[in-house]
Amino acid sequence: MTTAPDSRSQPSAQPRVSSARLASRRTRSSRLDVGLLAIRIGIGLSFVLLLALKPADATKFLVKATGTVAAGHLWPASILSMAAFFLMFGLFTRAVGALSALACLYAVVATLHSGLPWFVLPVLSAESFVLFTALAITGPGRFSLDHLRQRRPSAQS
């Protein structure tokens, strides 16, 4: 008859992490989460103020950028105005970030196609494209509704 070895007496296969190193990791993680929160709130508020509260200005921008306002040109504005609220609260951040990045990319291409100089209008859309792409890649961070949804225990267990 054999007995199972006592796991307490054998050294662990995992290396021990010092408490200072663990605290440093937590601090970096907290800073990253606060940074992502600041980016989400900042870009969300800017798009709420630009598009949701002033849709006439967004339409004027599209007329200047494309020369005409067609139904096909209104989808970027409507996506970005709804996405702003989702991003501020960190809800469906990766999907909303990807859709918003596509809308901003469309705005860049439409502006460049209209014949306006590349350094005048599409720079803001290009910066927004980069920010939305980064949010789609990194996710919302710990201070978000997505994080709360992931931590919620499943109903199946």
Q: Note down the domain range covering 136.
A: 43-151
**Is residue 8, in this structure, part of any structural domain at all?**
no
Of 58, 44, 75, 60, which is closest to residue 145 (Cα–Cα)?
Answer: 44
**Is residue 76, in this structure, part of any structural domain at all?**
yes
- How does residue 8 score in pLDDT terms, banded at 50, 70 and 90? low
Q: What pLDDT digit, counting tens, does each position of 99-130 carry? A: 989 988 887 887 777 776 666 667 778 888 99
The residues, any chain, with a CB within 8 Å of residue 29's CB and separated by 6 or more, are: 142
Of 134, 74, 137, which is closest to residue 107 (Cα–Cα)?
Answer: 74
**Is residue 36, in this structure, part of any structural domain at all?**
no
**Is residue 19, in this structure, part of any structural domain at all?**
no
Question: Does the pLDDT of residue 94 top 90, yes or no?
Answer: yes
Give, for 44, the enclosing helix (H) or strand (E).
Answer: helix 19-47
Count of domains observed in the chain: 1
Question: Does the pLDDT of residue 4 top 60, yes or no?
Answer: no
The model carries a pTM of 0.66
**Is residue 103, in this structure, part of any structural domain at all?**
yes
In angstroms, the CA 130 to CA 122 distance is 12
